[in-house]
A = this chain, B = another copy of it.
Amino acid sequence: MFTLSEENYLKAIFHLEMMSGTGISTNAIASKLETKASSVTDMVKKLAEKQVLVYKKYQGVSLTKSGKTTAARIVRKHRLWEVFLVEKLNFSWDEVHDVAEQLEHIKSPKLTRELDAFLGFPKTDPHGDPIPDHEGRFDSVEKRLLSSLKENEVGVCVGVDDSSSNFLQYLDKNGISLGEKIEVLSIESFDGSLSIKVAGKVLSISSKIATNIYIQS
């Protein structure tokens, strides 16, 4: 069994390994969890003793098989609860993250199993992220950044990279949501900003925005 703090470390390392492969640095973990490197060193020693990760001084850490499964199950719960909040309790996609951060630590295998069934075994959460199964497996949707499209190409929005309330509200305001068709009308070579057509309306978005939207084409 893991403490709340241990679970948060495992999840952070899991996400970091997802992005940048194995051998996650103390500093990377510290900045993701908004804590200090020295605290991370202490904690990874403890987690190494519990066999959920391998730690070699000055070399960073890597999750073991068991560590990956444990972390994926927390992510599974996080995303199932996000679906619940949006589908059943009228939350919008920018309101769910903080509550899910709490709910993901509830310990009850039956609860997770039944919640999954109650929601109809969803495959993705409200931000387009895949929901791992009980064993921690999930199929990664093939997707590209909107910024990788060329002029006159089209795609369907299937996810976001940044799930902050700020960014999601910006998307809402501009009619961009999951499943929406996006057409790139033109690209400004000077600053990489795009003119796009979405939901019948033309709008201009910065390159920063375009690198936080995933599309399928």
Residues of A within 8 A of B (CB): 85, 88-91, 95, 98-99, 102-103, 106-108, 110-111, 114-115, 118
Contact = CB atoms under 8 A, between A and B. Distances in A.
A115 B103 contact: no
B103 A99 contact: no
B108 A106 contact: no
Nearest to A114: B89
Contacts of A110: 91, 95, 99
A167 to B, nearest CB: 20
How many copies of this chain does one complex carry? Answer: 2
Contact of A111 (B89, B115, B118): B89
A102 B115 CA distance: 16
A90 B108 CA distance: 14
A42 to B, nearest CB: 22
B88 A118 contact: yes
A89 B102 contact: no
